[in-house]
Amino acid sequence: MDLRNRRRLVAVLIAAIFAAPVIIAMVLALTGWTPHGHSYGQPIRPERDLANVPVRLADGQPFAWVNHDAVWSLVALPGPDCARHCLRQLDLAHRAQITLGKSSDKLRLLYLGEPPHGAAAQGFGKVWTLATTAASLDGLRATMADSVSMVLVSPDGTALTRYADNFDAEGLRQDLKKAVH
C-alpha cells in the first residue's frame, strides 16, 4: 500500500471514530430507547403540570410553582390525622433536605393539608411552608391514618415523582441529591 492510500485510510478511520457515536445515538433515538435511571419514588404518569394549580399559603398569599431560581418543591400530602408516624416521616424529609448541604436552599418544603397539632408538632411551621389543599393533587395524597406521601415537583412546576405512604427516607434523600445538584 502506498503512502497516499495509507493516509486516506487513516483519515477514513479517524472520521469513523468520530461518526460512530453519533450514528449509534441516532439509531437508539429512532428505535425509541431511552436510558432509565433508578429512582426510589414512583414516576407520575402522565406527569402533571402544576404551574396553573392555585395553592394558597397559610397567610393567604398565592404559592408560585414555577420559579426561575431552579428551586425544587417537595410537597407533603398527609392522610387523615397526621400524628406521630406522619410527623416522623416529615422530619426525615426535612433531614434529607439538610443533607443537601449548600444546595439545601434549592429545595423548598410545602405541606398541603391540615397542619398537625400537639406538642410533637412544635416548630413544624418553621420548617414546612403551610398551604391549603390543592384538589388536583388529592389522587396522590396518603390514604392511611397517620401517614404522609410526598411529591417531587421540578422548578418548572411539573410533578415528577411520588413517594407513597411509608416511603424510604434514605431513597428520598438519594433522589433529592440527584435532582437538586
What is the per-residue pLDDT across 111-154, written as a single tens digit (0 to 9) for each? 998 888 777 777 888 899 999 866 777 788 998 989 999 999 99
The reported pLDDT for the residue numbered 30 is 86
Q: Does one domain contain both 83 and 134?
A: yes
Residues sharing a CB contact under 8 Å with residue 125, sequence separation 6 or more, in sequence order: 58, 115
Q: Does one domain contain both 14 and 98?
A: no
Q: Does one domain contain both 19 and 48?
A: no
Q: Does one domain contain both 147 and 98?
A: yes
Q: Does one domain contain both 31 and 65?
A: no
Q: Does one domain contain both 162 and 112?
A: yes
| DSSP state string for 35-67 | -----SSEEEEEEEE-TT---BBTTSPBP-S--
Domain CATH number, residue 118:
3.40.30.10
Q: Does one domain contain both 4 and 85?
A: no
The reported pLDDT for the residue numbered 68 is 86
Q: Does one domain contain both 112 and 93?
A: yes
Q: Does one domain contain both 71 and 89?
A: yes
Q: Does one domain contain both 31 and 53?
A: no
CA max distance for the chain: 89
The reported pLDDT for the residue numbered 176 is 93
Return the closest-CA partner of residue 170 out of 83, 89, 109: 89
Return the closest-CA partner of residue 156 out of 56, 76, 47: 47
| List of the chain residues with pLDDT < 50 | none
The reported pLDDT for the residue numbered 114 is 85
Q: Does one domain contain both 16 and 63?
A: no
Total domains in the chain come to 2
The reported pLDDT for the residue numbered 119 is 75
Q: Does one domain contain both 100 and 18?
A: no
| Residue 2, amino acid | D
Domain that holds residue 9: 1-35
